[in-house]
Amino acid sequence: MELNPWGSETIKDYDKLTKEFGIERMPQIGVDNHYFRRGIIFGHREFDKFWADYKAGKKVSILTGIMPSGPMHLGHKMVVDQCAFYQGLGIKTHVLIADIEARTTRGISKEEAERLALEEYLPNWIALGLDPKKADIYAQSNRSIPYYSFYSLLSGRVTFNEMQAVYGDITPGKMTSALVQMGDILHLQLPDYDGPHRVLVPVGADQDPHIRLARGFAEKLGLEKPAATFHRFASGLDGGKMSSSKPASHIALNDSPEVAVKKSVDVLTGGRNTAAEQKKLGGKIDECVVYELYAYHFIQDDKELAEIYRKCTKGEMLCGECKQILKKKVEKFMSDLAKKREKAKKQVEKMELFR
Ligand code: TRP
Ligand code: SF4
C-alpha cells in the first residue's frame, strides 16, 4: 500500500491504511461535528493532545492549505468545513494558498494560481463559512521573511535518503513543495510568529507523508509535534476517485445549479438489478455514492440521515425516489452557495494576498 500526496489513487481499505502507517483510529470523543460523529474523519496523529490543550485553554491553532489547480469541488469542501468548525470554536485558523506547490508540481503559472485562488477558491471558502476577517490567509509565495529563512534551514536538516524514505520517487519540484509545506506547518511556532504551541493540520489521508516528515522535523528542532486528522476520500460521482481533471467525477462548486442537478442524476447508487430485488434485500448502501453525498455534505441532521438509511436498507425506498431528494438538496445548496460566493468575491477583492 502506498500513500502518495501527488498521486491519483483512491483508498478503500482504511483499516489496512491505519495499520500500515501507524495512524491512530479516531475515537468518539464528543466533538460535535458531522465529520467526527460519522467517522468520516477516520484517523489522526495526536489529535487527543491537541484537543486536550484546546480544552485546557492553552494556545492552539489549525493550519491547512489548498493548492489552486483545477476546479474546486466537493472533495475540497471537506477541509473548508472543518476549518470553519474550528474557527467557530475560537481556534486561530491559518489558511494558505499553495501556489508554490502548484508551480513546482503541476506547472501552474503564478498568474493562473492567483486567478484561481482569488476568483474561485477563496470566494468558495468564504461562501462555505470561513470568516476571512478572523483567519490568517496567506500565499506561499508571499509570506514574511522568517518563513523563507526557516524553509532554507529545513532543507539543510534532511537528507535525500530521508526524503526518499518518506515519499518514494521524488523530483526536485516535489522536494521543494514538500519542504515549503514543512515550512507552512512548522513556522507558526517560531518566535517571529506565535511561538511554540500545538498546531493541528486537518487533511486527506494522502497527505500523511507530509505529516510524518513535519513531525520528524519538529522533534529535531525542539518544536511541538504537529497533530493531524485524516478524512476519507470523497468518492467520484461515478464511484471512482473524485478528481479535478474529470468533470463528470465531481460537482464543482462553481458548477451552475442546473449542471450540478444534471450531474446528480448520474450518481452511482447501490441499487439492485430489479425493483423487486431491492424491495426484498434493500439497497447496497455501502457502495452508494448518493448516500455518501448525504452523509458528507447534504444532510446535517443525524435523524434525517438515519431515516434514509433505514428506508434504503429495508427496501422501503427505491433509488429513483432517493435521487429526487438528492436533486432538491443539490439545487438548494448550489444556489445558496452561488449567492454567497458573489458576496464573498467583493471581500476577496480587498485582500492583498499576492505581490
Ligand atoms: N499539499 C496540499 C494539497 O495538495 C496543500 C498544502 C500546502 C498543505 N501546504 C500545506 C496542506 C500545509 C496542509 C498543510 O492540497
Ligand atoms: Fe443509495 Fe438511496 Fe438507492 Fe439506497 S435508495 S442505494 S441510499 S440511492
Residue 10's pLDDT is what? 65
- 121 contacts 68 by C-beta, under 8 angstroms: yes
The residue among 266 and 29 whose pLDDT is bigger is 266
Residue 346's pLDDT is what? 95
What residue spans in the chain does CATH classification 1.10.240.10 cover? 255-342
- C-alpha 281 – ligand 1 centre gap (Å): 43
- C-alpha 256 – ligand 2 centre gap (Å): 24
Concatenated DSSP letters of 138-186: EEGGG--HHHHHHHHHHHTTS-HHHHHHHHSS--HHHHHHHHHHHHHHH
Atom of ligand 1 nearest to the CA of 184: 12
Q: Could you tell me the CATH superfamily of domain 255-342?
A: Tyrosyl-Transfer RNA Synthetase (1.10.240.10)
- C-alpha 33 – ligand 2 centre gap (Å): 24
pLDDT digits (tens, 9 = 90+) for 80-115: 999 999 999 999 999 999 999 999 999 999 999 999
CA distance 257 to 61: 35
Residue 125's pLDDT is what? 98
Residue type for position 58: K
Question: How would you class 350 by CB atoms within 10 Å of its CB: exposed for 0-12, middle for 13-18, buried for 19 or more?
Answer: exposed
- C-alpha 204 – ligand 1 centre gap (Å): 10
pLDDT digits (tens, 9 = 90+) for 296-353: 999 999 999 999 999 999 999 999 999 999 999 999 999 999 999 999 999 999 999 9
- C-alpha 196 – ligand 2 centre gap (Å): 48
Residue 91's pLDDT is what? 98
Q: Does domain 14-236 have CATH number 3.40.50.620?
A: yes
Assign residue 112 a region (left: φ > 0; alpha: ψ between -120 and 50; beta: otherwise).
alpha
Ligand 2 site, residue 299, Cβ cutoff 6 A: no
CA distance 82 to 68: 19
Q: Judge whether residue 277 has pLDDT over 80.
A: yes
Q: In testing the pocket of ligand 2, which one of 312, 314, 329 has its CB within 8 Å of the most ligand atoms?
A: 312
Residue 9's pLDDT is what? 67
The percent of residues above 70 in pLDDT, for the chain, comes to 98
Average of per-residue pLDDT across 154-171: 93
Supply the mean pLDDT for the chain.
94
Residue 8's pLDDT is what? 60
Average of per-residue pLDDT across 221-233: 96
Residue 211's pLDDT is what? 97
Take atom 11 of ligand 1 and give the residue whose Cα is closest.
65
Whose cell is 493541528? That residue is: 200
The residue among 7 and 355 whose pLDDT is bigger is 355
What residue spans in the chain does CATH classification 3.40.50.620 cover? 14-236
pLDDT digits (tens, 9 = 90+) for 2-34: 777 776 666 678 888 888 888 999 988 888 999
Residue 355's pLDDT is what? 83
pLDDT digits (tens, 9 = 90+) for 185-203: 999 999 999 999 999 999 9
Ligand 2 site, residue 291, Cβ cutoff 6 A: yes
Atom of ligand 1 nearest to the CA of 203: 13
Residue 5's pLDDT is what? 76
**Any residues with CB less than 8 A from the CB of 292 and at least 6 apart, and which?**
234, 235
- C-alpha 108 – ligand 2 centre gap (Å): 39
From residue 82, give the alpha-carbon distance in Å to each of 45, 161, 165, 199, 355.
Answer: 16, 34, 30, 14, 29
CA torsion through residues 132, 134, 138, 142, sign: positive
Whose cell is 519538529? That residue is: 218
Residue 28's pLDDT is what? 86
Take atom 6 of ligand 1 and give the residue whose Cα is closest.
65
Q: Judge whether residue 250 has pLDDT over 90.
A: yes
Q: Which ligand is nearest to the CA of 294?
A: 2
Contact residues of ligand 1, CB 6 A cut-off? 5, 63-67, 96, 98, 101, 181, 184-185, 201, 203
